[in-house]
């Protein structure tokens, strides 16, 4: 049964994909982690990547953000090959890796100033609300080496609350070191980003209780070579 041309489902099917992964194969050294991974994501989609340790979840995210190249297959971002968009990636996707990625000698505010500038130059005025959103109000001038692992993780995640963030978020284990309240808040924020037309790809061992309406679960273990 075909949907009417003007229906939401038909418009969604006709929209240009945000992210298109085609036949991806990943090798690490002489070991092949996975092969034949394909999926297509539209605005509003959330993709959760699962799999056992060593199946290549983080490696897949690195392929999707251009930090590594696939042994086979390709990635398209907004209808163009990812490899052709090196200069524009910072305005199109936001990558937060498994590590917090903060500078230990810089303060919370200084870290967010340079992290935010990767995507939105001049976003310093919004740092205060972003810090408050992740529960770190009052720590703005604290050097990051004096913070706990969970607090450092919150600094990295505060980037998601800055204005002008790219539409595509690629997040590697974003719930690591967060307490229950922090994890619940992040779930709500990710779902809200998708509801506004953003797209989220994440790896996590955390059981999501709040998901985007358009949610897909990808078991990478099925693609192990």
Rounded to whole angstroms, the Cα distance separating 202 from 174 reads 8
Each residue's pLDDT tens digit, 106-144: 999 999 988 877 766 655 668 889 999 999 999 999 999
Q: Which CATH superfamily is domain 44-68+86-223 in?
A: P-loop containing nucleotide triphosphate hydrolases (3.40.50.300)
Each residue's pLDDT tens digit, 187-196: 999 999 999 9
Q: What is the pTM of this model?
A: 0.89
Each residue's pLDDT tens digit, 140-170: 999 999 999 889 999 999 999 988 889 999 9
The phi and psi torsions of 166 (rounded to 5 degrees) equal: -60, 160
User: Cα–Cα distances in Å, from 99 out to 7, 51, 158?
Assistant: 42, 19, 14
User: Cα–Cα distances in Å, from 79 out to 82, 86, 93, 197, 208?
Assistant: 9, 14, 14, 17, 30
């Amino acid at each position: 049964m075909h949907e009417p041309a003007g229906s939401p489902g038909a418009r969604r099917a006709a929209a240009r994909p945000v992210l298109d992964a085609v036949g991806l194969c990943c090798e690490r050294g002489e070991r092949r982690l996975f092969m034949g991974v394909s999926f297509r994501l539209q605005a509003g989609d959330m993709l959760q990547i699962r799999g056992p340790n060593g199946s290549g979840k983080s490696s897949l995210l690195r392929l999707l953000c251009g930090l590594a190249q696939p042994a086979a297959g390709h990635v398209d971002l907004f209808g163009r090959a990812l490899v052709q968009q090196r200069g524009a990636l910072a305005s199109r996707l936001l990558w937060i890796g498994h590590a917090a990625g903060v500078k230990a000698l810089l303060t919370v505010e200084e870290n967010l100033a340079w992290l935010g500038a990767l995507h939105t130059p001049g976003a310093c005025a919004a740092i205060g609300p972003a810090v408050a959103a992740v529960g770190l109000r009052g720590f703005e001038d604290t050097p990051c080496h004096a913070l706990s692992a969970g607090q450092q993780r919150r600094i990295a995640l505060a980037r998601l609350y800055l204005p002008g963030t790219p539409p595509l978020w690629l997040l590697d284990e974003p719930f690591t070191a967060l307490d229950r309240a922090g994890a619940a808040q992040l779930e709500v924020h990710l779902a809200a980003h998708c509801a506004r037309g953003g797209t989220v790809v994440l790896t996590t061992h955390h059981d999501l209780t709040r998901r985007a309406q358009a949610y897909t679960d990808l078991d990478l273990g099925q693609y192990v070579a």
